[in-house]
Amino acid sequence: MSIKPIKTESDNKAALERIEQLWDAQPNTSDRDELDVLVTLVQAFEELHYPIDAPNPVQAIRFRMEQAGLEDADLVPYLGQRSRVSEILSYKRHLSLGMIRKLNEGLKIPLEVLIRDYQLAR
């Protein structure tokens, strides 16, 4: 096993190719150890060079709706009347503290996502 830090795109590509070769390595083998180390190195490189921002609250709500097969009307218990649901989902109104609590408790959307600031539509 000859592992070195991943510093360039070329290094990352080579590591990904090696990971593909090792993907079915058995536990407690040197190949599996190599796989584990390479995955960790690639993950660190990609987190540094390709960061993914957390979603804004509306994106998170829409994602949870898609996951659960919910319609706008299903958000009334969390956001209030249908017109308020529409305002929230179209970026015309911010979430209130009460809405944030209900969304967190009822739909299990993380608080740290729901409290993020976001721009309203103009």
| Low-confidence residues of the chain: pLDDT under 50 | none
Those residues with Cβ within 8 angstroms of residue 4's Cβ, 6 or more apart along the chain or in another chain = 11
Q: What is the pLDDT of residue 91?
A: 97
Helices (H) and strands (E) in the chain, counts: 7, 0
For the chain, the residue count is: 122
pLDDT tens-place string over residues 5-34:
999 999 999 999 999 999 999 999 999 999
Q: What is the pLDDT of residue 2?
A: 79
Q: What is the pLDDT of residue 15?
A: 96
Q: Supply the pTM of this predicted model.
A: 0.65
Q: What is the pLDDT of residue 53?
A: 86
Domain spans, the chain = 9-49, 57-114
CATH architecture assigned to 57-114: Orthogonal Bundle (1.10)
Closest Cα to residue 20, out of 52, 44, 42, 4?
42
Query: Phi/psi of residue 54, each to 5°?
Result: -65, 150
How many CB atoms are located within 10 Å of the residue 84 CB? Answer: 17
Q: What is the pLDDT of residue 54?
A: 85
